[in-house]
Structure 1
């Protein structure tokens, strides 16, 4: 197998990683950065642009975007709390006495 052409496959690997929904954030990195789903080539078969006549469109859009950013933050904080609990469960505070030699 030819393993010298990895650089040719790197854009496809990067695209796949950036458009895959991650377990912790429940969003794709692309979606978190651009606030919308990526447009794949096969998505171009139908028109994607629709104009809204709703006067509340801007308000609804801002609410939707705030939900999209708050949900991953909450999920990350919850995962951090779980990691901290797991770490603290097996950790004990060391007890030092005067004249103990310690590594700094």
Structure 2
């Protein structure tokens, strides 16, 4: 006895205080809820992608190149900030 009560230990049999009723449609409700969440997330992603595209397209210039134009080609492997970033000019032949 402890403080006038019988001590309950973790391995003692517990009385049923709470009884949970099982809903037979619970699994279906969860599936429908998760489908709603997935659809909402997908719609948010699509909406954000469209917003990013419109913002990007505001400052985008369409490039129109013709034969015999001179162009610079950007180098891919930049190792140092003093390395050249563009090579050329090259003439467009096709």
TM-score by length of 2: 0.50
* Bigger share in strand: 2
TM-score by length of 1: 0.46
Larger RCO (alpha carbons 8 Å, 6+ apart): 1
